[in-house]
Amino acid sequence: MARDSCLARVTAGVSVGGAVGGAVGAVYGTYEAIRYKVPGLLKIRYIGQTTLGSAAIFGLFLGAGSLIHCGKSH
């Protein structure tokens, strides 16, 4: 039972981190693409790369934090 609960917490952490990271990455990628005047369709690629990269990093760290927190006894 505790293992399922821990897995659910880690999964929730990864998904919430991915969502928050994706939102932040999309905003930041759009800002950077406009700031550096990325041409045409490369702008969409740049924003997509920034969004996915940020989502992956945030998801990884929030998932790891949830895993570490799962091991602690209260």
Count: domains in the chain: 1
Domain presence at residue 74: no
Domain presence at residue 43: yes
Whole-number average pLDDT of the chain:
93
Structural domain harbouring 36: 26-65
**Alpha-carbon distance values, 54 to 11, 20, 28, 57, 73 (Å):** 17, 9, 9, 5, 31
Domain presence at residue 1: no
Residue with tokens 């917490």: 9
Domain presence at residue 57: yes
Domain presence at residue 38: yes
Query: What are the pLDDT digits (tens) for 9-37?
Result: 999 999 999 999 999 999 999 999 999 99
